[in-house]
Chains A and B, each alone.
Chain A
Amino acid sequence: MSDVASQLFEREAIRELIARVGRLLDTKDFAAVIASFAEPGSYVLRAYSPEIGKEMIWMSVKRAELLRLLKESAEHVHDLADRTHQITVDQISLEKGEALARSTFSVFRTDMKGQSDLFAVGHYEDRLVKNGDTWLIDSRTVRLHTRMFTVPTPLPL
Protein backbone atom coordinates (compact mmCIF):
# COMPACT_ATOMS: atom_id res chain seq x y z
CA MET A 1 0.00 0.00 0.00
CA SER A 2 1.37 3.45 -0.91
CA ASP A 3 2.01 6.04 1.80
CA VAL A 4 -0.94 8.09 0.62
CA ALA A 5 -3.22 5.08 0.62
CA SER A 6 -1.92 4.05 4.02
CA GLN A 7 -2.58 7.49 5.44
CA LEU A 8 -6.09 7.54 4.02
CA PHE A 9 -6.68 4.11 5.48
CA GLU A 10 -5.53 5.23 8.95
CA ARG A 11 -7.58 8.41 8.80
CA GLU A 12 -10.68 6.46 7.89
CA ALA A 13 -10.08 4.07 10.79
CA ILE A 14 -9.80 7.01 13.19
CA ARG A 15 -12.95 8.61 11.83
CA GLU A 16 -14.80 5.33 12.28
CA LEU A 17 -13.52 4.97 15.85
CA ILE A 18 -14.66 8.43 16.89
CA ALA A 19 -18.07 7.96 15.30
CA ARG A 20 -18.39 4.49 16.82
CA VAL A 21 -17.71 5.76 20.36
CA GLY A 22 -20.55 8.25 19.90
CA ARG A 23 -22.91 5.47 18.87
CA LEU A 24 -21.76 3.27 21.76
CA LEU A 25 -22.50 6.07 24.21
CA ASP A 26 -25.96 6.43 22.66
CA THR A 27 -26.70 2.72 23.00
CA LYS A 28 -25.14 2.63 26.49
CA ASP A 29 -22.74 -0.11 25.45
CA PHE A 30 -20.33 1.09 28.10
CA ALA A 31 -18.03 -1.93 27.99
CA ALA A 32 -17.35 -1.19 24.34
CA VAL A 33 -16.84 2.51 25.14
CA ILE A 34 -14.18 1.61 27.67
CA ALA A 35 -12.61 -0.86 25.26
CA SER A 36 -12.12 2.06 22.85
CA PHE A 37 -9.78 3.74 25.35
CA ALA A 38 -6.11 2.83 25.84
CA GLU A 39 -4.62 2.25 29.30
CA PRO A 40 -4.36 4.33 31.45
CA GLY A 41 -6.44 6.63 29.26
CA SER A 42 -8.06 9.85 30.32
CA TYR A 43 -11.33 11.70 29.84
CA VAL A 44 -11.58 15.39 30.70
CA LEU A 45 -14.65 17.60 30.45
CA ARG A 46 -13.85 21.29 30.27
CA ALA A 47 -15.86 24.48 29.93
CA TYR A 48 -15.08 28.16 30.13
CA SER A 49 -17.19 30.30 32.42
CA PRO A 50 -17.52 33.88 31.20
CA GLU A 51 -19.36 34.56 34.45
CA ILE A 52 -16.23 34.08 36.56
CA GLY A 53 -13.69 34.38 33.73
CA LYS A 54 -12.18 30.98 34.38
CA GLU A 55 -11.47 27.75 32.55
CA MET A 56 -13.17 24.95 34.47
CA ILE A 57 -12.77 21.20 34.72
CA TRP A 58 -16.09 19.45 35.22
CA MET A 59 -14.74 15.92 35.09
CA SER A 60 -11.25 14.49 34.92
CA VAL A 61 -10.95 10.72 35.16
CA LYS A 62 -8.68 7.94 34.05
CA ARG A 63 -10.02 4.97 32.09
CA ALA A 64 -10.53 2.91 35.26
CA GLU A 65 -12.53 5.64 36.96
CA LEU A 66 -14.57 6.16 33.81
CA LEU A 67 -15.37 2.45 33.83
CA ARG A 68 -16.49 2.73 37.42
CA LEU A 69 -18.69 5.75 36.70
CA LEU A 70 -20.33 3.95 33.81
CA LYS A 71 -20.86 0.77 35.81
CA GLU A 72 -22.42 2.59 38.75
CA SER A 73 -24.63 4.78 36.56
CA ALA A 74 -27.42 2.20 36.65
CA GLU A 75 -27.77 2.46 40.42
CA HIS A 76 -28.16 6.23 40.33
CA VAL A 77 -31.40 7.97 39.52
CA HIS A 78 -30.65 8.83 35.93
CA ASP A 79 -32.11 10.53 32.92
CA LEU A 80 -34.44 8.19 31.07
CA ALA A 81 -34.10 10.02 27.78
CA ASP A 82 -32.19 8.75 24.76
CA ARG A 83 -29.18 10.57 23.42
CA THR A 84 -27.97 10.83 19.84
CA HIS A 85 -24.46 11.96 19.03
CA GLN A 86 -23.72 13.66 15.75
CA ILE A 87 -19.98 13.93 15.20
CA THR A 88 -17.92 15.47 12.48
CA VAL A 89 -14.18 14.81 12.50
CA ASP A 90 -12.67 18.10 11.43
CA GLN A 91 -8.95 17.42 11.50
CA ILE A 92 -6.60 14.48 11.89
CA SER A 93 -2.83 14.68 12.09
CA LEU A 94 -0.79 11.47 12.03
CA GLU A 95 2.71 11.03 13.32
CA LYS A 96 4.65 7.86 14.14
CA GLY A 97 1.82 5.64 15.26
CA GLU A 98 -0.01 8.40 17.08
CA ALA A 99 -2.71 10.78 15.97
CA LEU A 100 -4.43 13.95 17.07
CA ALA A 101 -8.02 14.46 16.03
CA ARG A 102 -10.35 17.38 16.50
CA SER A 103 -14.06 16.83 16.08
CA THR A 104 -17.23 18.86 16.48
CA PHE A 105 -20.12 17.17 18.19
CA SER A 106 -23.71 17.82 19.03
CA VAL A 107 -25.82 15.62 21.27
CA PHE A 108 -29.57 15.50 20.89
CA ARG A 109 -31.80 14.36 23.73
CA THR A 110 -35.09 12.61 23.02
CA ASP A 111 -37.32 12.44 26.07
CA MET A 112 -39.77 9.68 26.89
CA LYS A 113 -42.57 11.53 25.12
CA GLY A 114 -40.52 11.54 21.93
CA GLN A 115 -39.58 15.21 21.95
CA SER A 116 -36.03 15.90 20.78
CA ASP A 117 -33.92 18.89 21.77
CA LEU A 118 -30.34 19.90 21.31
CA PHE A 119 -28.61 18.91 24.55
CA ALA A 120 -24.95 19.85 24.13
CA VAL A 121 -22.49 21.24 21.62
CA GLY A 122 -18.72 21.15 21.78
CA HIS A 123 -15.47 19.74 20.46
CA TYR A 124 -13.50 16.58 21.08
CA GLU A 125 -9.75 16.85 21.19
CA ASP A 126 -8.52 13.27 20.99
CA ARG A 127 -5.05 11.86 21.20
CA LEU A 128 -5.04 8.40 19.68
CA VAL A 129 -2.55 5.57 19.80
CA LYS A 130 -2.28 2.37 17.84
CA ASN A 131 -2.46 -0.98 19.57
CA GLY A 132 -1.48 -3.49 16.88
CA ASP A 133 -3.81 -2.69 14.02
CA THR A 134 -6.36 -0.95 16.17
CA TRP A 135 -6.62 2.72 17.00
CA LEU A 136 -7.57 3.58 20.59
CA ILE A 137 -8.32 6.86 22.34
CA ASP A 138 -5.47 7.65 24.71
CA SER A 139 -6.95 10.90 25.97
CA ARG A 140 -10.13 12.76 25.19
CA THR A 141 -10.72 16.37 26.17
CA VAL A 142 -14.29 17.49 25.69
CA ARG A 143 -14.51 21.25 25.28
CA LEU A 144 -18.09 22.16 25.95
CA HIS A 145 -19.74 25.19 24.46
CA THR A 146 -22.99 24.31 26.18
CA ARG A 147 -22.90 25.19 29.86
CA MET A 148 -26.58 25.08 30.77
CA PHE A 149 -27.94 21.58 30.77
CA THR A 150 -31.62 20.81 30.90
CA VAL A 151 -30.68 17.57 32.64
CA PRO A 152 -27.22 17.23 34.17
CA THR A 153 -25.53 13.87 33.79
CA PRO A 154 -22.42 12.10 35.00
CA LEU A 155 -22.39 10.09 31.76
CA PRO A 156 -19.63 11.09 29.36
CA LEU A 157 -20.61 13.16 26.35
Chain B
Amino acid sequence: MDHVENAMDHVSPWATAPKLPSTHYVDNRIYTDPVIFEEEREKILAATWRLVCHESELPEPGDYRAKEIAGVPVVILRSEDRSIMAFFNVCPHRGARLVRDERGNAKKGLQCLYHLWTFALDGKCTSITRSKGYDGCSLKKDDVGLRSVRTEIFCGMVFVCLKDDVPPLEQFLGGMADHMKTHLGQEELEVFHYHRAIINTNWKLFVDNNSELYHEFLHVLNRRTAVAHKSYHERNWLLYQNSHNIIQQGVIHYDSYGLGERSEGALPGMQPNGMVVMLLFPDVMLNIRATVMRIDTMTPLAPGKTLVEWRGVGLKSDTPDVRAMRIQHHNEVWGPAGRNLPEDIAAVETQWETMVQGGSRYSLFAREEGLKPQDDANLRAFYQEWGRCLGRAPNDPFRHGNVDTDVSHSIKEITNV
Protein backbone atom coordinates (compact mmCIF):
# COMPACT_ATOMS: atom_id res chain seq x y z
CA MET B 1 0.00 0.00 0.00
CA ASP B 2 2.83 2.33 0.92
CA HIS B 3 4.32 1.53 -2.41
CA VAL B 4 1.08 2.57 -4.22
CA GLU B 5 0.76 5.80 -2.25
CA ASN B 6 4.34 6.67 -2.99
CA ALA B 7 3.75 5.99 -6.66
CA MET B 8 0.67 8.23 -6.69
CA ASP B 9 2.59 10.98 -4.93
CA HIS B 10 5.11 10.75 -7.68
CA VAL B 11 2.49 10.85 -10.40
CA SER B 12 0.15 13.48 -9.01
CA PRO B 13 2.05 16.59 -10.12
CA TRP B 14 1.46 15.51 -13.71
CA ALA B 15 -2.24 14.85 -13.19
CA THR B 16 -3.06 18.23 -11.69
CA ALA B 17 -3.15 21.55 -13.46
CA PRO B 18 0.21 23.31 -13.69
CA LYS B 19 0.75 26.21 -11.31
CA LEU B 20 0.83 28.70 -14.14
CA PRO B 21 -1.41 31.46 -15.45
CA SER B 22 -4.44 29.95 -17.18
CA THR B 23 -3.20 31.21 -20.54
CA HIS B 24 0.10 29.35 -20.20
CA TYR B 25 -1.07 25.77 -20.54
CA VAL B 26 -3.82 23.76 -22.18
CA ASP B 27 -5.67 20.62 -21.23
CA ASN B 28 -4.67 18.01 -23.79
CA ARG B 29 -8.26 16.86 -24.14
CA ILE B 30 -8.72 19.83 -26.48
CA TYR B 31 -6.74 17.70 -28.94
CA THR B 32 -8.34 14.33 -28.33
CA ASP B 33 -11.97 14.88 -27.40
CA PRO B 34 -14.41 14.03 -30.24
CA VAL B 35 -17.08 16.47 -29.00
CA ILE B 36 -14.59 19.32 -29.09
CA PHE B 37 -13.51 18.23 -32.55
CA GLU B 38 -17.08 18.49 -33.86
CA GLU B 39 -17.44 21.91 -32.24
CA GLU B 40 -14.23 23.05 -33.93
CA ARG B 41 -15.62 22.01 -37.30
CA GLU B 42 -18.74 24.07 -36.75
CA LYS B 43 -17.37 27.10 -34.93
CA ILE B 44 -13.88 27.48 -36.42
CA LEU B 45 -13.29 25.43 -39.56
CA ALA B 46 -16.67 26.21 -41.13
CA ALA B 47 -16.89 29.72 -39.70
CA THR B 48 -13.62 31.35 -40.75
CA TRP B 49 -11.96 32.20 -44.04
CA ARG B 50 -10.05 29.15 -45.28
CA LEU B 51 -7.29 29.14 -47.84
CA VAL B 52 -8.18 26.61 -50.56
CA CYS B 53 -5.63 27.16 -53.34
CA HIS B 54 -3.56 29.70 -55.20
CA GLU B 55 -5.05 31.33 -58.28
CA SER B 56 -2.18 29.96 -60.41
CA GLU B 57 -3.78 26.55 -59.94
CA LEU B 58 -6.75 27.77 -61.98
CA PRO B 59 -5.13 29.41 -65.03
CA GLU B 60 -7.90 28.90 -67.63
CA PRO B 61 -11.67 29.48 -67.68
CA GLY B 62 -13.37 26.29 -66.58
CA ASP B 63 -10.40 25.11 -64.46
CA TYR B 64 -11.54 23.78 -61.13
CA ARG B 65 -10.16 22.44 -57.86
CA ALA B 66 -12.22 20.36 -55.47
CA LYS B 67 -11.80 20.56 -51.70
CA GLU B 68 -13.58 19.72 -48.51
CA ILE B 69 -14.11 22.45 -45.95
CA ALA B 70 -15.20 21.17 -42.55
CA GLY B 71 -16.49 18.05 -44.29
CA VAL B 72 -18.44 20.01 -46.92
CA PRO B 73 -17.41 19.32 -50.53
CA VAL B 74 -16.62 22.53 -52.38
CA VAL B 75 -15.58 23.16 -55.98
CA ILE B 76 -13.59 26.28 -56.79
CA LEU B 77 -13.57 27.29 -60.44
CA ARG B 78 -12.56 30.01 -62.82
CA SER B 79 -15.54 31.31 -64.75
CA GLU B 80 -15.76 32.61 -68.31
CA ASP B 81 -15.06 36.19 -67.17
CA ARG B 82 -11.93 34.85 -65.35
CA SER B 83 -13.33 35.54 -61.89
CA ILE B 84 -12.97 32.74 -59.36
CA MET B 85 -16.08 31.38 -57.71
CA ALA B 86 -16.88 28.51 -55.37
CA PHE B 87 -19.92 26.31 -54.94
CA PHE B 88 -20.97 23.33 -52.89
CA ASN B 89 -19.70 20.41 -54.95
CA VAL B 90 -23.15 18.89 -54.78
CA CYS B 91 -25.95 18.49 -57.27
CA PRO B 92 -28.98 20.30 -55.84
CA HIS B 93 -31.24 17.55 -57.25
CA ARG B 94 -30.34 14.57 -55.06
CA GLY B 95 -26.98 15.34 -53.53
CA ALA B 96 -24.57 13.48 -55.82
CA ARG B 97 -21.05 14.87 -55.94
CA LEU B 98 -20.70 17.00 -59.06
CA VAL B 99 -16.96 16.97 -59.60
CA ARG B 100 -15.27 13.73 -58.60
CA ASP B 101 -11.62 14.50 -59.38
CA GLU B 102 -9.48 17.05 -57.57
CA ARG B 103 -8.67 19.15 -60.57
CA GLY B 104 -9.89 19.50 -64.11
CA ASN B 105 -11.55 21.73 -66.66
CA ALA B 106 -15.28 22.16 -67.07
CA LYS B 107 -15.34 24.83 -69.76
CA LYS B 108 -18.53 23.33 -71.16
CA GLY B 109 -20.12 23.40 -67.72
CA LEU B 110 -20.66 20.87 -64.98
CA GLN B 111 -22.82 17.81 -65.40
CA CYS B 112 -24.06 15.59 -62.63
CA LEU B 113 -23.28 11.95 -63.36
CA TYR B 114 -26.48 10.71 -61.79
CA HIS B 115 -29.41 12.26 -63.75
CA LEU B 116 -27.36 14.44 -66.14
CA TRP B 117 -28.50 17.86 -64.89
CA THR B 118 -26.07 20.52 -66.13
CA PHE B 119 -24.77 23.77 -64.66
CA ALA B 120 -22.90 26.76 -66.07
CA LEU B 121 -19.67 28.06 -64.56
CA ASP B 122 -21.66 30.75 -62.75
CA GLY B 123 -23.64 28.05 -60.97
CA LYS B 124 -26.89 28.46 -62.89
CA CYS B 125 -28.70 25.29 -63.85
CA THR B 126 -28.68 25.07 -67.65
CA SER B 127 -30.64 21.89 -68.22
CA ILE B 128 -32.83 19.44 -66.37
CA THR B 129 -33.17 16.04 -67.98
CA ARG B 130 -36.80 15.45 -69.08
CA SER B 131 -37.81 18.68 -67.37
CA LYS B 132 -41.47 18.30 -68.35
CA GLY B 133 -41.78 15.89 -65.43
CA TYR B 134 -41.47 18.89 -63.10
CA ASP B 135 -44.19 20.98 -64.81
CA GLY B 136 -46.77 19.70 -62.36
CA CYS B 137 -44.97 21.31 -59.43
CA SER B 138 -43.66 24.32 -61.43
CA LEU B 139 -40.00 23.57 -60.62
CA LYS B 140 -37.80 25.65 -62.93
CA LYS B 141 -34.09 25.70 -63.74
CA ASP B 142 -33.79 29.07 -62.01
CA ASP B 143 -34.85 27.43 -58.76
CA VAL B 144 -32.03 24.88 -58.69
CA GLY B 145 -28.69 26.60 -59.23
CA LEU B 146 -25.62 25.54 -57.30
CA ARG B 147 -25.24 26.75 -53.73
CA SER B 148 -22.54 29.40 -53.91
CA VAL B 149 -19.80 29.77 -51.30
CA ARG B 150 -18.29 33.12 -50.35
CA THR B 151 -15.00 33.50 -52.18
CA GLU B 152 -12.37 36.21 -51.94
CA ILE B 153 -8.91 36.45 -53.42
CA PHE B 154 -6.11 38.28 -51.67
CA CYS B 155 -2.62 38.48 -53.19
CA GLY B 156 -3.50 35.52 -55.40
CA MET B 157 -4.59 33.38 -52.48
CA VAL B 158 -8.10 31.99 -52.87
CA PHE B 159 -10.09 31.90 -49.65
CA VAL B 160 -13.61 30.62 -49.10
CA CYS B 161 -15.96 30.87 -46.14
CA LEU B 162 -18.97 28.62 -45.61
CA LYS B 163 -20.73 31.13 -43.37
CA ASP B 164 -22.49 34.18 -44.81
CA ASP B 165 -22.32 36.34 -41.67
CA VAL B 166 -18.51 36.41 -41.27
CA PRO B 167 -16.77 39.79 -41.88
CA PRO B 168 -14.99 40.25 -45.24
CA LEU B 169 -11.59 38.60 -45.73
CA GLU B 170 -9.46 41.74 -45.49
CA GLN B 171 -11.12 42.65 -42.21
CA PHE B 172 -10.40 39.11 -40.97
CA LEU B 173 -6.74 39.40 -42.00
CA GLY B 174 -6.40 42.80 -40.32
CA GLY B 175 -2.78 43.85 -39.85
CA MET B 176 -1.50 40.72 -41.60
CA ALA B 177 -2.81 42.04 -44.91
CA ASP B 178 0.10 44.47 -45.23
CA HIS B 179 2.66 41.73 -44.65
CA MET B 180 0.96 39.56 -47.23
CA LYS B 181 1.03 42.43 -49.73
CA THR B 182 4.76 42.82 -49.14
CA HIS B 183 5.59 39.17 -49.76
CA LEU B 184 2.79 37.89 -51.95
CA GLY B 185 1.33 40.92 -53.63
CA GLN B 186 4.18 42.49 -55.57
CA GLU B 187 4.72 39.86 -58.27
CA GLU B 188 2.63 37.04 -59.66
CA LEU B 189 3.36 33.77 -57.89
CA GLU B 190 3.08 30.20 -59.14
CA VAL B 191 2.74 26.88 -57.34
CA PHE B 192 5.36 24.37 -58.52
CA HIS B 193 5.16 21.76 -55.77
CA TYR B 194 2.22 20.00 -54.19
CA HIS B 195 2.03 17.01 -51.95
CA ARG B 196 -0.08 15.93 -49.06
CA ALA B 197 -0.31 13.36 -46.35
CA ILE B 198 -2.73 12.19 -43.75
CA ILE B 199 -0.85 12.43 -40.50
CA ASN B 200 -1.88 10.69 -37.30
CA THR B 201 -2.27 13.66 -35.04
CA ASN B 202 -4.65 16.44 -34.12
CA TRP B 203 -4.61 19.40 -36.48
CA LYS B 204 -3.75 21.88 -33.73
CA LEU B 205 -0.61 19.96 -32.86
CA PHE B 206 0.65 20.52 -36.38
CA VAL B 207 -0.40 24.18 -36.13
CA ASP B 208 1.65 24.36 -32.92
CA ASN B 209 4.59 22.79 -34.70
CA ASN B 210 4.36 25.31 -37.52
CA SER B 211 3.92 28.18 -35.08
CA GLU B 212 6.47 27.70 -32.34
CA LEU B 213 10.06 28.44 -33.12
CA TYR B 214 11.18 26.77 -29.90
CA HIS B 215 10.73 23.52 -31.84
CA GLU B 216 13.64 24.47 -34.11
CA PHE B 217 15.73 22.45 -31.68
CA LEU B 218 14.07 19.37 -33.21
CA HIS B 219 15.89 19.96 -36.48
CA VAL B 220 19.65 19.55 -36.68
CA LEU B 221 19.60 21.82 -39.71
CA ASN B 222 17.83 24.60 -37.81
CA ARG B 223 20.00 24.16 -34.75
CA ARG B 224 23.09 24.93 -36.81
CA THR B 225 21.73 27.45 -39.32
CA ALA B 226 19.35 29.41 -37.09
CA VAL B 227 19.21 29.13 -33.31
CA ALA B 228 23.00 28.88 -32.92
CA HIS B 229 23.35 32.42 -34.25
CA LYS B 230 22.81 35.51 -32.09
CA SER B 231 20.97 37.45 -34.78
CA TYR B 232 18.27 34.79 -34.86
CA HIS B 233 17.19 35.80 -31.37
CA GLU B 234 17.12 39.54 -32.11
CA ARG B 235 13.71 39.87 -33.70
CA ASN B 236 10.12 39.75 -32.55
CA TRP B 237 6.81 38.13 -33.17
CA LEU B 238 4.17 40.56 -34.37
CA LEU B 239 0.77 39.44 -33.14
CA TYR B 240 -2.46 40.60 -34.72
CA GLN B 241 -6.16 40.37 -34.05
CA ASN B 242 -7.81 37.02 -34.86
CA SER B 243 -4.54 35.35 -33.83
CA HIS B 244 -2.68 35.92 -37.07
CA ASN B 245 1.03 36.47 -36.56
CA ILE B 246 4.39 36.87 -38.24
CA ILE B 247 7.97 36.60 -37.04
CA GLN B 248 10.15 39.46 -38.22
CA GLN B 249 12.60 38.55 -40.92
CA GLY B 250 15.77 36.83 -39.78
CA VAL B 251 18.88 35.66 -41.56
CA ILE B 252 19.59 31.94 -41.88
CA HIS B 253 23.21 30.78 -42.02
CA TYR B 254 22.96 28.02 -44.61
CA ASP B 255 26.74 27.90 -44.79
CA SER B 256 26.76 26.55 -41.23
CA TYR B 257 25.26 23.36 -42.62
CA GLY B 258 27.19 23.27 -45.86
CA LEU B 259 24.24 24.41 -47.93
CA GLY B 260 24.51 27.09 -50.57
CA GLU B 261 23.75 30.75 -50.00
CA ARG B 262 20.34 32.07 -50.97
CA SER B 263 21.51 35.46 -52.05
CA GLU B 264 20.22 35.47 -55.65
CA GLY B 265 16.59 35.39 -56.68
CA ALA B 266 15.07 36.36 -53.36
CA LEU B 267 11.28 36.59 -53.42
CA PRO B 268 9.63 40.00 -52.97
CA GLY B 269 10.25 41.57 -49.58
CA MET B 270 13.02 39.10 -48.76
CA GLN B 271 16.65 39.88 -48.07
CA PRO B 272 19.39 37.40 -49.02
CA ASN B 273 19.13 34.31 -46.77
CA GLY B 274 16.13 35.91 -45.07
CA MET B 275 13.36 33.89 -43.49
CA VAL B 276 9.83 34.86 -42.54
CA VAL B 277 7.00 32.78 -41.12
CA MET B 278 3.41 33.99 -41.24
CA LEU B 279 0.50 32.20 -39.63
CA LEU B 280 -3.11 32.79 -40.48
CA PHE B 281 -5.73 31.52 -38.10
CA PRO B 282 -6.73 28.79 -37.97
CA ASP B 283 -4.51 26.54 -40.10
CA VAL B 284 -2.36 28.34 -42.67
CA MET B 285 1.40 28.71 -42.57
CA LEU B 286 3.30 30.82 -45.13
CA ASN B 287 7.00 30.17 -44.72
CA ILE B 288 9.52 31.96 -46.91
CA ARG B 289 13.17 30.96 -47.00
CA ALA B 290 14.53 33.80 -49.16
CA THR B 291 14.06 32.21 -52.59
CA VAL B 292 11.11 29.92 -52.05
CA MET B 293 7.80 29.88 -50.24
CA ARG B 294 6.02 27.00 -48.58
CA ILE B 295 2.30 27.09 -47.89
CA ASP B 296 0.69 24.62 -45.49
CA THR B 297 -3.05 24.11 -45.14
CA MET B 298 -4.93 21.54 -43.14
CA THR B 299 -8.16 19.58 -43.38
CA PRO B 300 -8.91 17.98 -40.01
CA LEU B 301 -10.56 14.61 -40.67
CA ALA B 302 -10.92 13.28 -37.12
CA PRO B 303 -9.41 14.21 -33.74
CA GLY B 304 -6.31 12.17 -34.60
CA LYS B 305 -6.28 12.38 -38.40
CA THR B 306 -5.26 15.48 -40.33
CA LEU B 307 -4.87 15.93 -44.04
CA VAL B 308 -2.01 18.37 -44.60
CA GLU B 309 -1.35 19.93 -48.00
CA TRP B 310 2.04 21.42 -48.78
CA ARG B 311 2.72 23.77 -51.66
CA GLY B 312 5.99 25.15 -52.96
CA VAL B 313 5.78 28.55 -54.60
CA GLY B 314 8.01 30.63 -56.87
CA LEU B 315 7.46 33.47 -59.31
CA LYS B 316 5.39 33.00 -62.44
CA SER B 317 8.12 34.88 -64.34
CA ASP B 318 10.86 32.41 -63.31
CA THR B 319 13.27 31.31 -66.02
CA PRO B 320 13.88 27.54 -66.10
CA ASP B 321 17.21 28.04 -64.32
CA VAL B 322 15.71 30.16 -61.57
CA ARG B 323 12.84 27.72 -61.12
CA ALA B 324 15.32 24.85 -60.83
CA MET B 325 17.15 26.78 -58.11
CA ARG B 326 13.92 27.39 -56.19
CA ILE B 327 13.02 23.69 -56.46
CA GLN B 328 16.44 22.74 -55.14
CA HIS B 329 16.15 25.17 -52.24
CA HIS B 330 12.65 23.88 -51.51
CA ASN B 331 13.77 20.25 -51.48
CA GLU B 332 16.87 20.81 -49.35
CA VAL B 333 14.66 21.46 -46.35
CA TRP B 334 11.03 20.79 -47.24
CA GLY B 335 8.96 18.33 -49.24
CA PRO B 336 8.42 14.62 -48.61
CA ALA B 337 12.14 13.95 -49.18
CA GLY B 338 13.38 17.07 -47.39
CA ARG B 339 15.39 17.04 -44.17
CA ASN B 340 12.85 18.62 -41.84
CA LEU B 341 9.38 17.29 -42.60
CA PRO B 342 10.01 13.73 -41.32
CA GLU B 343 11.15 15.23 -38.03
CA ASP B 344 8.09 17.45 -37.65
CA ILE B 345 5.73 14.60 -38.34
CA ALA B 346 7.54 12.23 -35.99
CA ALA B 347 7.19 14.81 -33.21
CA VAL B 348 3.49 15.58 -33.61
CA GLU B 349 2.52 11.93 -34.09
CA THR B 350 4.23 10.91 -30.87
CA GLN B 351 2.39 13.72 -29.07
CA TRP B 352 -0.90 12.30 -30.30
CA GLU B 353 0.03 8.77 -29.23
CA THR B 354 0.66 9.85 -25.64
CA MET B 355 -2.29 12.21 -25.41
CA VAL B 356 -4.95 9.89 -26.78
CA GLN B 357 -3.99 7.25 -24.21
CA GLY B 358 -4.26 9.78 -21.39
CA GLY B 359 -0.54 9.63 -20.76
CA SER B 360 -0.11 13.35 -21.13
CA ARG B 361 -2.65 15.66 -19.53
CA TYR B 362 -1.34 19.19 -20.06
CA SER B 363 0.82 21.06 -22.56
CA LEU B 364 2.82 24.10 -21.54
CA PHE B 365 2.94 27.33 -23.52
CA ALA B 366 4.70 29.26 -20.80
CA ARG B 367 7.81 30.71 -22.45
CA GLU B 368 8.01 34.47 -21.97
CA GLU B 369 10.85 36.12 -23.84
CA GLY B 370 9.42 39.51 -24.68
CA LEU B 371 8.01 38.31 -28.02
CA LYS B 372 11.42 37.11 -29.13
CA PRO B 373 11.34 34.11 -31.52
CA GLN B 374 11.05 31.40 -28.86
CA ASP B 375 8.42 33.19 -26.81
CA ASP B 376 5.15 31.19 -26.74
CA ALA B 377 3.05 34.36 -27.04
CA ASN B 378 1.77 33.51 -30.52
CA LEU B 379 0.64 30.08 -29.30
CA ARG B 380 -1.08 31.63 -26.31
CA ALA B 381 -2.86 34.00 -28.66
CA PHE B 382 -3.93 31.06 -30.85
CA TYR B 383 -5.48 29.23 -27.92
CA GLN B 384 -7.16 32.34 -26.61
CA GLU B 385 -8.77 32.82 -30.02
CA TRP B 386 -9.64 29.12 -30.12
CA GLY B 387 -11.28 29.49 -26.71
CA ARG B 388 -13.21 32.55 -27.81
CA CYS B 389 -14.57 30.73 -30.87
CA LEU B 390 -15.65 27.66 -28.90
CA GLY B 391 -16.66 29.32 -25.64
CA ARG B 392 -14.32 26.95 -23.82
CA ALA B 393 -11.24 27.64 -21.75
CA PRO B 394 -8.29 25.81 -23.37
CA ASN B 395 -6.82 25.02 -19.95
CA ASP B 396 -10.11 23.73 -18.56
CA PRO B 397 -12.38 22.93 -21.51
CA PHE B 398 -15.03 20.99 -19.59
CA ARG B 399 -15.58 23.54 -16.83
CA HIS B 400 -19.28 23.95 -16.07
CA GLY B 401 -20.97 27.34 -15.92
CA ASN B 402 -19.70 30.53 -17.49
CA VAL B 403 -16.42 30.07 -19.23
CA ASP B 404 -13.79 32.75 -19.01
CA THR B 405 -12.59 33.34 -22.53
CA ASP B 406 -10.82 36.54 -21.64
CA VAL B 407 -8.29 37.43 -24.30
CA SER B 408 -6.86 40.40 -22.42
CA HIS B 409 -3.49 38.70 -21.96
CA SER B 410 -3.11 38.21 -25.68
CA ILE B 411 -4.40 41.66 -26.49
CA LYS B 412 -1.86 43.12 -24.08
CA GLU B 413 0.85 41.27 -25.99
CA ILE B 414 -0.54 42.56 -29.25
CA THR B 415 -0.49 46.14 -28.07
CA ASN B 416 3.09 45.62 -26.94
CA VAL B 417 4.19 45.21 -30.56
Contact = CB atoms under 8 A, between A and B. Distances in A.
B218 A77 contact: yes
B101 interface: yes
A37 B31 CA distance: 47
B342 A76 contact: yes
12 contacts: A50-B102, A52-B57, A52-B311, A56-B193, A58-B337, A59-B337, A72-B220, A79-B346, A152-B335, A153-B342, A154-B338, A154-B342
B292 to A, nearest CB: 13
A3 interface: no
B327 interface: yes
**What secondary structure prevails in chain A residues at the interface with B?**
loop
A114 interface: no
Interface residues of B, number: 32
Nearest to B56: A52
Nearest to A149: B336
A51 B103 contact: yes
A28 interface: no
B197 A148 contact: yes
B13 to A, nearest CB: 28
Interface of A: 45, 47, 49-54, 56-60, 68, 72, 75-79, 147-154
Given A47-B195, A79-B346, A154 B337 contact: yes
Contacts of A152: 197, 335-338, 341-342, 345
B103 A50 contact: yes
Q: Most B CB atoms within 10 A — which of A45, A51, A57, A153?
A: A51
Nearest to A142: B337
B331 interface: yes
A75 B335 CA distance: 19
Nearest to B57: A52
Given A59-B335, A152-B336, 12 more contacts: A50-B102, A51-B57, A52-B191, A59-B337, A76-B343, A78-B342, A147-B336, A148-B195, A148-B198, A151-B346, A152-B338, A154-B337
A40 B346 CA distance: 33
A68 to B, nearest CB: 8
A17 B356 CA distance: 45
A156 to B, nearest CB: 8
Contact of A51 (B194, B220, B258, B337): B194
Contacts of B154: none
B331 A60 contact: yes
A75 B337 CA distance: 16
A58 B335 contact: yes
